[in-house]
A and B are shown apart, each in its own frame.
Chain A
Amino acid sequence: MSGIRQICGKELARVFYDKKMLFSVFVLPVVIMIAVMSLVNTLGRKQEEDVESHRAVLCLENAPDGFEELLKSSGISYTIKPFSDEGEVQTMLLEGEADLWIAFPEAFAQMVQEYRQGDAVPQIKTYYNPSEDYSREAYNTISTGFLELYRQRLLAERVDDMAGLTVFTVNSDNPEMMIQDDAKAGGKLMGMMLPYFVTILLFAGAMGIGTDMVAGEKERGTMASLLVSPIPRSAIVLGKVFALMIISGISSVIYVAAMVVFMPQMLGGSSEELGISLVLSPSQIGMLAALLVAIAFLYSAIIVLVSVFAKTVKEAGSYITPVYMLVLVLGITTMFTNGTPKEWYYIIPIYNTSLALQGILTQEVTGGQFILTLGVTLVLGAAMVIGIAKAFESEKVMAI
C-alpha cells in the first residue's frame, strides 16, 4: 500500500508542483473552452442581430394600392428599389443589392375584387436568393409571413364570416399544452450531454498526462529507477492509474463546474431559459459518483495499458488516438439512440456507462442495470491493471 501511495503521490506532485503543468491541465482548457464558446455565441448573435436589424431591400412589381401602406404598418423595416425590368432585378438579387422581388400580376386588385367562382386565382410570385442571409430573412418575414396576413385581410373583405372558413384552430389558446416532469425533462437533456462530456473530459484530460506517466518515463530513462525499487510492479501500476484517475477526475470536475458557472456567457441565456435546470436526489448523486469513479478508473487503465507498449510519448500518442476515437464513438452513441435499451447493451463496456448515466438522470435505470454496468467497468479496469502489471514484468515491453 505504501508503494502505491508513494508512486501516486509522486505523479500528483509532478502535476501539482509544476505551475506550467497546473495551468495547462486545469486552467487553459477551461479558458479556451469558455473563450471559444463565448466567441462562437457572440459572433452568432451579432450575425443574427445584424440580419434582424437590416432594412430589407424590396422590388415591387405591379404592387396594388394600399400594399405599401399595409407593409409599413406591419412594422417591417424595408426600403423600395424601383422596378425596372426582370433582368436587372435578377442581377440585383444575385449581387445582394436587392433582397426580395415581389411580382404581382397586372391588375391584381381588380382580379381579386371581381373574382367569381371558376376564375383563375391570381398568383403573387416572390423571388429571393437563399445564399444571401438578408434575402433569406426577407423571404421568411415577408413572403411566408406578411403575405399570409395580406391574404387573410383580402379574404376578410370577401367573406362576412371568417370563423366559418377557419373550421378549427390548434392550440390558439392553450398555455398548458406541455405536460411533463421538469426534473425528468432536465435529466433528458443532461443525459444526452453528460456521456459526451464525460468521454471528452475524462479521457482527453487524462490522455496527455497518462502517456507521459509511462511512455515518458521510459523515454527519459527514469522508469528503470522505479523498477529496481523494492515494491511490486503492481504497486507502480496502481499508483500511476490512481494518480491519473485523480487528475482526470479533478480536471473534469473543474470543467463541469466552469461550464455550469459560465453557461450563461457561453450560450447567451441562464440555465433555466435553456431548459437544463436539474435537481438530483442524493441516491442519483451517489450512483453518478460511483459510475464516474469506475469509468475514470477504466479510462486511466486503458491509457496506461496503451502507453506501456510505446517507447516514446509520441508513439503513445499515435497509439492512443484510434482508441480515443473508439471510446468517443461508444461514449456518444447514446446521444443518437432512442427507445428502451436492451438488457444486453449493459455488458458493452463504455457504452453501458453512457446508457446508465443517461438512465440515472432520466430515472429510468434499474438497480440490476446499474450494478451490471458498474461491475463490467470495474472488472474490465482490474483486468487491464493485471495486464499492465504483466507488461511491466516483460523486459521486452519495458525496453530496458
Chain B
Amino acid sequence: MIEIRDLTKVYKLNKKQMKESRTTNPRKTAVDHLSLTARPGEIYGLLGPNGAGKTTTLRCISTIIRPTQGEIYVSGHEVQKEPEKVREKIGFLTGDIKLDPQFSVDYMFEFFGRLHQIPEEKLRARKEELFTYFGIKDFAHKKMKELSTGMGQKAAIAVCLAHDPDIIIFDEPTNGLDVITARSVTDYLKKLRTEGKLVIISTHIMSEAEKICDRIGIVIGGHKVMEGRLDEILQETGSEDLEDAFFELYRQTQGEE
C-alpha cells in the first residue's frame, strides 16, 4: 500500500531557473499538500498536465527526492526513515531513467536482480518469464545502445520488474512507444493488477487513464483536485468523458486562481 500524507515538495530555484520560469520567487512549489492512498490490486493513475507535480510525487515515493513536508508510507515503511526498505518493495520506471548503453539486456537484468539479492534460480525463472512476455529473448544478448526505442523500453520494464516488486511505479509508461508496444505494456500492467500488485502511474493521456486505471487522482498545479473511479469523477463533474471532466476541473482551478 502507498499512503501519502500531506506531501509538499518545494524546489529552490537558482537565478538561471528563475529567469527561465520568469519569476522572482526563488521557491517553486511543485506539490502542495497532496494526500492519497493506493491499495494492492489496483492501478492508480495520477492524471494532470505537464508540470502538475505528477513526476515529483512519484519520485518522492521512490525515494529519489525528499519531501519538503509530509510523509509517505510504502508497505508500511516511511520513505525518509527507511529508504532502502522502500526501494526493496518497488519497481520504478520513467523515460528519464536509462540503462547502461554498453551492457546487454541480459547483463543488466542479472545485475539489477543481484542488487536486489534475488537467488540465481529465481532470477533465471523471472528472466525466462519476462523476456518471453515482452519478446526480448531474441535481442537479450544485444547491447542497450543497439536497441530501438521500443525494444529499449521493453528491456527497461523487464529489468525494473526483475525482483518481482509488490509495488510498480511507472512515470508515463507508454510515452514514446508505438501502439503495439504501448498495448503490450498496458496489458502487462493489467496482468500485474490481477496478480494483486499495486501499480501507480502518471499520465497526461486521457484515454490511457480511462482504460486502465481503477482510480484516478487529478492533479493540477501541485494540488489533487479530485480523486475517484472514472464513473465517480464523471458524475461529480457532470461530464461525459474524462477529457471533459478534466477541462471542467481545470477551468474551475484557473478561475479560482
* A118 in the interface (beta carbon within 8 A): no
Bound-state Cα–Cα, A96 to B252, Å: 95
Q: Decide if A228 touches B87 in the complex (CB within 8 Å).
A: yes
- Taking CB atoms, residues of chain A closer than 8 Å to B62 are 228
Q: Decide if B103 touches A2 in the complex (CB within 8 Å).
A: no
* A18 in the interface (beta carbon within 8 A): yes
* B179 in the interface (beta carbon within 8 A): no
Q: What residue in chain B is nearest A2 (Cβ atoms)?
A: B117
Least CB distance, B116 to chain A, in whole angstroms: 6
Given contacts A6-B114, A6-B115, A13-B107, contact A395 B98 (CB under 8 A): no
Q: Decide if A400 touches B88 in the complex (CB within 8 Å).
A: no
Q: Decide if B114 touches A221 in the complex (CB within 8 Å).
A: no
Q: Decide if A18 touches B97 in the complex (CB within 8 Å).
A: no
Q: Decide if B84 touches A232 in the complex (CB within 8 Å).
A: yes
Q: Decide if A395 touches B66 in the complex (CB within 8 Å).
A: yes
- Taking CB atoms, residues of chain A closer than 8 Å to B115 are 3, 6, 226, 229-231
- Taking CB atoms, residues of chain A closer than 8 Å to B117 are 2
Most chain A beta-carbon neighbours within 10 Å: one of B88, B92, B99, B100 = B100
Q: What residue in chain A is nearest B100 (Cβ atoms)?
A: A222
Q: Decide if B98 touches A222 in the complex (CB within 8 Å).
A: yes
**Interface range for A:** 20 to 34
Bound-state Cα–Cα, A355 to B87, Å: 46
Least CB distance, B81 to chain A, in whole angstroms: 14
Least CB distance, B53 to chain A, in whole angstroms: 15
Partner of A230, one of B59, B87, B97, B99: B87
Q: Decide if B101 touches A220 in the complex (CB within 8 Å).
A: yes
- Against A, the Cβ 8 Å flags (1 = close, 0 = not) of B65-108 are 11000000000000000001101101010101111111100010
* B188 in the interface (beta carbon within 8 A): no
Partner of B97, one of A10, A228, A231, A396: A228
Q: Decide if A222 touches B99 in the complex (CB within 8 Å).
A: yes
Bound-state Cα–Cα, A231 to B63, Å: 12
* A45 in the interface (beta carbon within 8 A): no
Q: What residue in chain A is nearest B96 (Cβ atoms)?
A: A221
Partner of A220, one of B85, B94, B98, B114: B98
* B64 in the interface (beta carbon within 8 A): yes
Q: Decide if B112 touches A229 in the complex (CB within 8 Å).
A: yes
Given contacts A10-B111, A395-B64, contact A231 B100 (CB under 8 A): no
- Taking CB atoms, residues of chain A closer than 8 Å to B87 are 228-230
- Against B, the Cβ 8 Å flags (1 = close, 0 = not) of A208-243 are 000000000100111011111111100000000000
Q: Decide if B96 touches A228 in the complex (CB within 8 Å).
A: no
- Taking CB atoms, residues of chain B closer than 8 Å to A231 are 84, 115
- Taking CB atoms, residues of chain B closer than 8 Å to A395 are 64-66
Bound-state Cα–Cα, A226 to B64, Å: 10
Q: What residue in chain B is nearest A398 (Cβ atoms)?
A: B64
Bound-state Cα–Cα, A3 to B115, Å: 6
Q: Decide if B97 touches A224 in the complex (CB within 8 Å).
A: yes
Classify the secondary structure of A's interface with B: helix
Q: Decide if A224 touches B96 in the complex (CB within 8 Å).
A: yes
Least CB distance, A13 to chain B, in whole angstroms: 7
- Taking CB atoms, residues of chain A closer than 8 Å to B101 are 220, 222
Least CB distance, A381 to chain B, in whole angstroms: 25
Bound-state Cα–Cα, A344 to B123, Å: 55
Partner of B103, one of A13, A217, A229: A13
Q: What residue in chain B is nearest A5 (Cβ atoms)?
A: B114
Bound-state Cα–Cα, A228 to B91, Å: 8
* A46 in the interface (beta carbon within 8 A): no
Least CB distance, B201 to chain A, in whole angstroms: 16
Least CB distance, A216 to chain B, in whole angstroms: 10
Q: What residue in chain B is nearest A225 (Cβ atoms)?
A: B97
Bound-state Cα–Cα, A2 to B98, Å: 23
Bound-state Cα–Cα, A232 to B88, Å: 11
Given contacts A228-B63, A229-B87, A230-B84, contact A6 B111 (CB under 8 A): yes
- Taking CB atoms, residues of chain A closer than 8 Å to B114 are 2, 6
* A125 in the interface (beta carbon within 8 A): no
Q: What residue in chain B is nearest A217 (Cβ atoms)?
A: B100
Most chain A beta-carbon neighbours within 10 Å: one of B59, B85, B97, B112 = B97
Q: Decide if B99 touches A229 in the complex (CB within 8 Å).
A: no
Least CB distance, B240 to chain A, in whole angstroms: 39
- Taking CB atoms, residues of chain A closer than 8 Å to B64 are 224, 227-228, 395, 400
* A14 in the interface (beta carbon within 8 A): yes
Bound-state Cα–Cα, A226 to B100, Å: 10
Bound-state Cα–Cα, A225 to B116, Å: 12
Least CB distance, B80 to chain A, in whole angstroms: 11
- Taking CB atoms, residues of chain A closer than 8 Å to B103 are 10, 13-14
- Taking CB atoms, residues of chain B closer than 8 Å to A221 are 96-98
Q: What residue in chain B is nearest A21 (Cβ atoms)?
A: B102
- Taking CB atoms, residues of chain A closer than 8 Å to B107 are 13
Bound-state Cα–Cα, A34 to B34, Å: 65
Q: Decide if A228 touches B65 in the complex (CB within 8 Å).
A: no
- Against B, the Cβ 8 Å flags (1 = close, 0 = not) of A1-21 are 011001000100110001000
- Taking CB atoms, residues of chain A closer than 8 Å to B94 are 224
Q: What residue in chain B is nearest A231 (Cβ atoms)?
A: B115
Sample 11 A-B pairs with CB under 8 A, ordered by A number.
A14-B102, A221-B98, A222-B100, A224-B64, A227-B64, A228-B87, A229-B115, A230-B115, A231-B84, A232-B84, A400-B65
- Other 14 A-B pairs with CB < 8 A, given A224-B97, A230-B85, A395-B65: A2-B117, A3-B115, A10-B103, A13-B103, A13-B107, A18-B102, A222-B98, A225-B97, A227-B63, A227-B64, A229-B112, A229-B115, A230-B87, A231-B84
- Interface residues in chain A, defined as those with a beta carbon under 8 Å from any beta carbon in chain B: 2-3, 6, 10, 13-14, 18, 217, 220-222, 224-232, 395-396, 400
- Interface residues in chain B, defined as those with a beta carbon under 8 Å from any beta carbon in chain A: 12, 59, 62-66, 84-85, 87-88, 90, 92, 94, 96-103, 107, 111-112, 114-117
Question: Nearest 5 CB-CB pairs, A to B?
Answer: A230-B87, A230-B88, A221-B98, A229-B115, A395-B65
